[in-house]
Amino acid sequence: MAWNRKLHALLVGCVFFCMVIRWGAAYTAAQARHLRSASAQGGLENGSLAARADVERFRQRAEEAMASAGADKGLWGVLITDATTGEVLYSRNAGEYFMPASNAKLFSTALALATLGPDYRVRTTVASVGALDANGVLNGDLVLLGRGDPNLSNRKFPFDRKEEHEGPPEKVLAEFAEAVVARGVKEITGDVVADDSMFQHEPFPSGWIIDDMLWSYGAAVSAISVNDNTFILNLRPGAREGDPARHDAGIAGDFYVIRNSVLTTARGSEEKLAVARDPGSRLIRLSGTMPVDAPTRRLTIAIEQPAEYAAALLARLLEARGVQIDGHSRARHADDPALDAAAPQAILAEHTSVPLSDEIRLTNKNSENVHAELLLLLAAHEKMGTRNYEDALKFASYFFRTAGIADGDVALSDGSGLSRKDLVTPRAIVQLLRYAATQPWGDLYRSTLPVAGQDGTLLDRMKNTPASARIFAKTGTIGHGNTLSGYATTVRGEQLIFSILGNNNNLHAQDANKVIDAICVAMVEELGQDEKRK
């Protein structure tokens, strides 16, 4: 049976591969070959642009930035091309590998748009396993069926420049509980189950590290994602020096045990806080000191067991509405041997996601890791029936070829860029962006990227410079790595596609970003021939 499913997935994948090759036929292969050839030779270094004064001015400013103290110890990959002609204006290590950090999200979001379309939606349901009798007794389990919606939260959409929330973080689960009660359920004889078996149980992709697992950016991946698989832990000082600090985990306090040994210290003293959780544990340890005049610290903690958490939360919400639960809350994963024997019988509640276009805007503007992972898995599952990372990444490789990306220029282990195993070339990113610009969804894709000095992760960068509002690009930050890739319009009106990848530097992220921003400002100010001035 398992072999038949794999064979079916392979056949579907082959059919889809043929389809995407046909879709990509309209894209000019000659441009992709030209980009590979020109970037490999080094653009300006091959002398082809030596006569352009604007390029020479940019080169001097960019290389001065990369030769500054600290930046000179790192490795830089830069590729800048004319968006209209594909002409390489500047190239440095454009065919070499770099960790892309969150620039990897460019690949995941483009893949999702190309394969699912901007209007794609996800339907999450709550169903019964067993019959509901006339007395309101559900004889069996109640199952929350996760289908990969990243936004089971309280976000308000459509999301544009500023993310907004409305209601409690568990808002969607509360709506499920109310719908179940409205259907007449008063007692559940079985368990409350959260089923995330749509994908294999792989909460942490290859290349993620243990330091990531505690914080929001390292939240576990699951077909069930409630509030981005995070919760807020508020910590504030006691009323007087020597008092224990106070904490509040909200509704998550029923799932996690918080051991708080933080003490309140004298006004104006140094704050020293530590947060720890062992892998697989539900015990969170807080230690250190907080001065009596310190503000409340809002810590966003990752949930390591998303399905188990969702089941416990839904059970609590049902009980708060008067439903008696005779069993327990639990998760059901893809490796559960009883999975096929527990098919739901009736849908009691459902939630439809926002359109994919809104989800991708959120993912790119805010650089949401779990969201990018789910986009990769969803695209592969919908088109090829895959359920794990290995097959999803193989599926993605078909798309990369269709986009004209050279074989070997992309080696990803996840969809978000948090993996330290991810490697891409600047040339691959520029080619992806060029391909995207030719697609029906190209303008939408560009609009989902952060805008310099305006919104998203570029809100506070390049403000009050000529680059403000002229750069639409995806940021990336990881240990010893900072990246930025996207589209730019120069002051002379020239349209550019660029990728700037910096690795192996020991700069603080803020200082590394200053180097990248300096390159961007030089790019916007210098590039473009005078006759293009507007």
pLDDT digits (tens, 9 = 90+) for 471-513: 999 999 999 999 999 999 999 999 999 999 999 998 999 999 9
Amino acid 27: pLDDT:
44
Residue 46 in any domain: the answer is yes
For 178, the token pair is 């109310």
Could you tell me if residue 19 is inside a domain? no
Q: Is the peptide bond before 466 cis (omega within 30 degrees of 0)?
A: no
Is residue 391 very low, low, confident or very high in pLDDT (cuts 50, 70, 90)?
very high
Q: How many CB atoms lie within 10 A of CB 281?
A: 12
The per-residue pLDDT for 341 is: 57
Tell me, yes or no, whether 478 and 363 share the same domain. Answer: yes
Q: How far apart are CA 355 and CA 120, in angstroms?
A: 6
C-beta pairs of 217-221 under 8 Å, 24+ apart in sequence: 217/302, 217/369, 217/418, 218/302, 218/369, 218/418, 219/302, 219/303, 219/306, 219/369, 219/370, 220/302, 220/303, 220/304, 220/305, 220/306, 220/370, 221/370, 221/373, 221/374, 221/377
Domain check: are 139 and 109 in the same one? Answer: no
Mean confidence (pLDDT) of the chain: 91
Q: Is the pLDDT of residue 12 over 60?
A: no
pLDDT in tens, 338-348: 766 566 779 99
Average pLDDT estimate for 265-274: 97
* Together in a domain, 91 and 201: no
Same domain, 315 and 409: no
Mean pLDDT of 378-404: 97
Residue 411 reports pLDDT greater than 60: yes
pLDDT of 294 strictly over 60: yes
Query: What token pair was written down for 220?
Result: 């576990």
265 and 291 assigned to the same domain: yes
| Burial grade of 486 (CB within 10 A; 0-12, 13-18, 19 or more) | buried
23 occurs within a structural domain: no
Q: Do 326 and 199 share a structural domain? A: yes
Confidence tier at 42 by pLDDT (50, 70, 90): very low
Q: Which domain holds residue 180?
A: 123-209+304-354
Region for residue 390 given its phi and psi (left: phi exceeds 0; alpha: psi -120 to 50; beta: otherwise): alpha
Helix ranges (H only) for 342-417 are 356-366, 369-384, 389-402
Same-domain pairing of 189 and 258: no
> How many independent structural domains does the chain possess?
3
Tens-place pLDDT, residues 64-87:
999 999 999 999 999 999 999 999
In percent, the amount of the chain with pLDDT more than 70 equals 88
Average pLDDT score over residue span 207-223: 97
503 bridge partner residues = 75, 481
Domain end, chosen from 354, 375, 394, is at 354
Q: What integer pLDDT is reported at residue 31 of this predicted model?
A: 53
pLDDT higher than threshold 90 for residue 534: no
CB of 373 closer than 8 Å to CB of 221? yes
The answer as to whether 4 is a domain residue is no
- CB 194, CB 391: distance < 8 Å: no
Please check whether residue 222 lies inside any domain of the structure: no
In-domain check, residue 128: yes
Cα 190–chain centre separation: 36
Q: Are residues 284 and 313 in the same domain?
A: no
The CATH number that applies at residue 75 is 3.40.710.10
